[in-house]
Structure 1
Amino acid sequence: MKAVYHPAQRAHDPKHFLSSGAPQPNPEQPARVDALLGALERRGIAPAAPADRGLGPIARVHTAEYLRFLQTIHARWRRIEGASEEVIPNIHPDRRSASYPLSAVGQAGYHQADTACPISAETWGSAYWSAQTALGAADLVLGGARAAYALCRPPGHHAFADLAGGFCFLNNTAIAADHCLRGGRRPAILDVDLHHGNGTQGIFYARGDVLTVSIHADPARYYPFFWGHAQERGEGPGLGANLNLPIPRGTADAGFLDALERGLERIAAFGPDVLVLALGLDAFEGDPFGGLAVTTPGFARIAEAIGRLGLPLVIVQEGGYLCAELGANLESFLSGLPAG
């Protein structure tokens, strides 16, 4: 198993998180890195630092307008008298086709879907190297590795082409899949995070060249609410290239694995030659979000099922928040993958 990580990902240290109207400490903390690195060390895996491939592979997924926003918004925001330390939106347009404002406050509302993606002076650098980490893992697989793990932080699967949300700024999973596509492969994406990968779905929704499959807690009463429902199948050239498998809150190993088998059947029918896995460990029964009830041994069973596809695997870390078992859950998952 190969792994990739860059220490610049630690710098992003968000302080605030508004949930159901109540301010709380942000759970997407740099300490997540320590738990995940510890799991790699215990398995004898030493991650390599990614090369800097520049903005090009990122800009093939995200708009130039959005990337410029991420790079400059904090400095502009801090010039506002009385502004908060972090960029947190307080107004949103009613549609994506609305006029684009000049003000920092208006642009924050346009490019940030919710209050769970505060931007500090360090956010851009960490998000940039998180994306480069995903690209590094993709390049390892393109170069012949059977599997490569990208320790990406901040995560990415809630980020659309021009919209941050849910702790996510750059969509690492989508960037890795697009990179594989441009490397001559036919990629499929499988998202096993607790939450639906709405940004990933949005990026590929009208495309038929990348299959997107997501297993997640039913969004009817759960984040991200507006996306992730079973009837969402794609549109235009992408019709039929999106599969959502929402499962009830509290679903444990057996129910998750049943949904996974349906997802793997669709992936096999797509005929991919590489699988990009959005690995969320927050489906764990003891995760702070508490939405699903996958056990630590259950992650090994999930990996075993995925491994039976026999596809080269780009593993992109998504959710999974601070709890005593976070590292053990990654170890369990990696132990279930085929050797080699």
Structure 2
Amino acid sequence: MKVFCAAERQKIHYPRSFLVNGAPQPNPEVPERLDRLLQTAAPAGHDIAEPSDHGLGPIAAVHTPDYVRFLANIYERWARIPDASAEVIPNIHPDRRDASYPLSAVGQAGYHMADTACPIGPGSWESIRWSANTAAAGAHHVLDGAPVAYALCRPPGHHAFTDLAGGFCFVNNAAVAAMVLRGDHERVAIVDVDLHHGNGTQGIFYRRADVLTISVHADPVRFYPFFWGHAHERGEGPGLGYNLNLPLPRGAQDDAFLGALDCGLESVEAFAPGALVVALGLDAFEGDPFGGLSVTTGGFGQIGQRLADLGLPTVIVQEGGYLCDAFGDNLTAFLASSDAARDAFR
């Protein structure tokens, strides 16, 4: 399997803190995540490839011009504010999305950032842009005939809406990959297996019938992202019936996760897409620091196998998963089972 990653560029972004229950804590979305996953993938025989620069086109296909301009320029503008924080962190949020668009850096930070978990520092835009290039490269590789590609995106993306960052995410890499695949396929499915609901992905495609969005995640009634990810959210307008949320109780183990995934994959088969995007979070693991679900390392192998059994051209896009002893083992299990299942399918 080819693994796309612009490692040195994607590691420049280094957020230092985020708020947990109102208190500053070290931000777990650190460059070491990428190093650990690369150290896992290379010895397993996967081919590590540097993505090409696809420019802003793949990002602009998903995100608004105002938002792209904000991401590209906000750090330099913020740094000119007297006594501002070292990273861009919002301190005000509008109560609606149809509010007037502010001119100030402080106002735009509040408009474009849903929470305090995605600080923007001096090298953030470079890493964000190359994370999107990684997703685009994986999708182009699949369009060129590869059965599967792994886009080792960092920072992650599935909490990012068209004009809103959140939850460590800035550009929605899964949506970037899906839109590249839409260039050749009439219908594309996205299956998100991260611990947290892929609320940004849902929001981007919520009124569309060409991209089916499915998410298996911890029930948001008492878990991030709280306001999205509930089972009754099925899409709107032309997209009604093209979004499926499968929330699980806290602590759910392999059987419950796989049962929900099987339900979601039945919808994928009924949708008959030409290609698949997998938003791969490794944070549903029983030992992950966020502690929401209890999927085992073997469980990740079964998740990979079930997704590969669909027999669809697939782009695997890295989302969450945080540093713990089995972090790399979980990726190994997922990718190995995915490869084995595809070999049997062929």
Tell me the distance in 2 between the aligned counterparts of 1:179 and 1:186: 12
Q: Is the partner of 2:47 in helix, strand or coil?
A: coil
Residue 135 of structure 2 corresponds to: 134
Q: Which amino acid aligns with 1:110?
A: Y
Q: Is the partner of 2:246 in helix, strand or coil?
A: strand
Question: Which stretches in structure 1 are left out of the alignment for 5+ residues?
Answer: none
Tell me the distance in 2 between the aligned counterparts of 1:140 and 1:75: 35
Residue 225 of structure 1 corresponds to: 226
Structure 1 length normalisation: TM-score?
Answer: 0.99
Tell me the distance in 1 between the aligned counterparts of 2:42 and 2:51: 18
Q: Which amino acid aligns with 1:2?
A: K
Contact 1:185 1:274 in 2 (8 A): no
How far does the alpha carbon of each residue in 1:50-76 deviate from its partner, in whole angstroms, 9 at most, with x for none?
A: 111110121010001000000110111
Tell me the distance in 2 between the aligned counterparts of 1:339 and 1:177: 21
CA displacement at 1:218 relative to structure 2: 0.1
Contact 1:185 1:273 in 2 (8 A): yes
Contact 2:309 2:342 in 1 (8 A): no
Q: Is the partner of 1:47 in helix, strand or coil?
A: strand
Tell me the distance in 2 between the aligned counterparts of 1:31 and 1:317: 14
Residue 5 of structure 1 corresponds to: 5
Residue 293 of structure 2 corresponds to: 292
How far does the alpha carbon of each residue in 1:207-263 deviate from its partner, in whole angstroms, 9 at most, with x for none?
A: 110000000000000000000000000001100000000000100100000000000
Contact 1:233 1:242 in 2 (8 A): yes
Q: Which amino acid aligns with 1:297?
A: G
Tell me the distance in 1 between the aligned counterparts of 2:81 and 2:58: 33
Residue 197 of structure 1 corresponds to: 198
Q: Is the partner of 2:330 in helix, strand or coil?
A: helix
How far does the alpha carbon of each residue in 1:162-196 deviate from its partner, in whole angstroms, 9 at most, with x for none?
A: 00000000000001001100233521000000000
Structure 2 length normalisation: TM-score?
Answer: 0.97
Tell me the distance in 1 between the aligned counterparts of 2:216 and 2:81: 42
CA displacement at 1:95 relative to structure 2: 0.3
Q: Which amino acid aligns with 1:153?
A: R
Question: Which stretches in structure 2 are left out of the alignment for 5+ residues?
Answer: none
Q: Which amino acid aligns with 1:331?
A: T
Q: Is the partner of 2:263 in helix, strand or coil?
A: helix
Q: Is the partner of 2:107 in helix, strand or coil?
A: helix
Q: How does 1:60-209 map to 2 (within 5 A)?
A: 60-209=61-210
Once the two structures are aligned, what percentage of the paired residues are identical? 65
Contact 2:67 2:164 in 1 (8 A): yes
Residue 35 of structure 1 corresponds to: 36
How far does the alpha carbon of each residue in 1:282-321 deviate from its partner, in whole angstroms, 9 at most, with x for none?
A: 0000001000000011100111111211111100000000
How far does the alpha carbon of each residue in 1:10-67 deviate from its partner, in whole angstroms, 9 at most, with x for none?
A: 1000001101111100000000011100110121113101111110121010001000
Contact 2:58 2:132 in 1 (8 A): no
The aligned length equals 340
Residue 319 of structure 1 corresponds to: 320
CA displacement at 1:339 relative to structure 2: 4.4
